[in-house]
Amino acid sequence: MESRVNYTAMGVFIVLFTVALVAFAFWLGKYNQDERLYSRYKVFITESVSGLAPEAAVKFHGVDVGKVESIRINPHNSEEVELTLKIKKETPIKTDSNALLKFYGITGLAFIEIAGGSRHAPLLSNGNGTIPTIPSSPSLITRLDESLSDVASKLSLTLDRADRLFSDKNVENVAQSLEHLRSLTAQIDGYQGEIKALLAQSSTLEHNASKSLQAMGDAAISVKTASGNFNTLVQTKIAKTLESLEATSKESHTLIKKLEANVDRGDYDIAPASSELTTLLEQTRSLTNEMEMTLRSLRESPSDLLFKKSTPKPGPGE
């Protein structure tokens, strides 16, 4: 009987040992398979990881690429949570990639999202045999919390300044300023008549100035006309008289030379020459009288000559 019991215990022991050995072999094979198919990465997060559990999904641009293997407090920095990620080896984790905490809608369940990573950046690898670390970025909730905190701080500062702005002293100062403004407006209303009179005088001054400017313009035109008349007078009367005198002088000079030549030849018949000389002297006297009359007119009434008014009539005997 004891022999049968011993054989039974031995058989149970062998069965259990065999099952354990098979399980160990299976686990060992799975571990080796994981080592061949997956790589491990560390992530350190400073925010709360509530909702994140081991075996939570790890996504790369929304695609499942692994799982969260373990979660613990960083033994070297109590402000950080250390995550160990198991990610498929073919996943291109780059040196500029970053990990952030995301949530499934409003369920509260979280997962890890790997974002970033430019095409030309090198792959993140464990060159010295240690597990490489993926930098972390704040989650959307953390960014919103920081933004709301900043907004609340600024709103509090704005309300504090508004409270100081509308203090009793400032309100009293504004009331006094309004009272002074009302008094100034009343004083301006009392001077409305004088202001209107001043505006009317300004209008009259403007009108007079306009007339003065017009008169100055007319005067400028008159001066220009007078200048033209004077030039015409010089060019017509005086210039022509001078030309006639010069021509007469030349003829007299020629006639005198002719007489001298006749005398030198012994020809003393000077009657024809005397007649011509008498005619020239009469012309010279006439031109001289005309020049004197013009000069006398210019001296006695220069304005009549410049502005083309009538010249004084000659008196008796002139």
Average pLDDT of the residues in 98-109: 87
Cα gap 283→285, rounded to integer Å: 5
Is the pLDDT confidence value at 72 over 80?
yes
Using one digit for the tens of pLDDT, what is the confidence trace for 2-56?
555 567 777 777 888 888 877 876 666 665 556 678 889 999 999 989 889 999 9
Contacts of 303 (CB under 8 A, 6+ apart): 309
Residue 235's alpha-carbon distances to 75, 97, 240, 241, 243, in angstroms, are 120, 103, 7, 10, 11
pLDDT mean across residues, the chain? 76
For residue range 109-121, what is the model confidence (pLDDT) as tens digits?
A: 999 999 988 888 9
Please give the residue that has the higher pLDDT: either 128 or 14.
Answer: 14
Measuring CA to CA, how many Å separate 39 from each of 126, 129, 155?
10, 12, 48
pLDDT in the model for residue 310: 47
Residue, of 264 and 95, whose pLDDT is higher: 95
- Contact, 126 vs 156, CB < 8 A? no
Helix residue spans in the chain (DSSP H): 2-37, 140-165, 168-190, 192-233, 239-264, 271-300, 302-306
pTM as predicted: 0.43
pLDDT at 1: 45
pLDDT of residue 79: 93
Question: Average pLDDT of 181-197?
Answer: 76
Residue 206: per-residue pLDDT: 72
Q: Where are the chain's structural domains?
A: 36-136, 141-305
Q: Mean of the pLDDT values across residues 252-273? A: 62
What is the rounded distance in angstroms from the CA atom of residue 199 to the CA atom of residue 193?
10
Residues 196-236 have pLDDT tens digits of 777 777 677 677 767 766 766 666 676 566 556 655 655 56
pLDDT in tens, 150-169: 888 888 888 888 877 777 78
In the prediction, which pLDDT does 150 show? 83
pLDDT for the residue numbered 130? 85
